[in-house]
Copies of this chain bind each other. A is one copy, B any other.
Amino acid sequence: MLGPGKADLLEGIREAGSIAAAGRAMSMSYKRAWSLVEEMNAAFGEPLVSSSRGGTRGGGAHLTKTGEAVLSHYRKLEQITRAAGEEQIGAIEDLLGDMSVNE
């Protein structure tokens, strides 16, 4: 229901104030960005993104309170799991070939 791509899209919508603009910044088609938003809005108890079409400013989109909460929990989850998994990730990286070593 939520992964790195959708989380980035939510963050982009918060920054850009527009689903289309957030999708464009991720090289995503308008259709794809809307489809992901609709999936998320349907999956959660309340919509994560609220959008309006038309009007003097040409419509726009913003995260709902639930959307902000979900994004915040997801980013925290990433931080926590990255820190917790550091040792095992390091062990796997040690076994990777030279081409994968960046530093």
A binding-site residues for B, Cβ under 8 Å: 1-2, 42-46, 66, 69-70, 73-74, 76-77, 80-81, 83-85, 88-89, 91-92, 95-100
> Which residues from B are CB-within-8-Å of A100?
1, 43
Partner of A77, one of B1, B74, B88, B99: B88
Please give the distance in Å from A9's CB to the nearest CB on chain B.
16
Cβ-defined contact, B77 with A92, below 8 A:
yes
Residue pairs across A and B with Cβ atoms less than 8 A apart, 11 shown, are A1-B96, A43-B97, A43-B99, A43-B100, A44-B95, A44-B97, A77-B85, A77-B89, A81-B84, A81-B85, A83-B84
Cβ-defined contact, B96 with A44, below 8 A:
yes
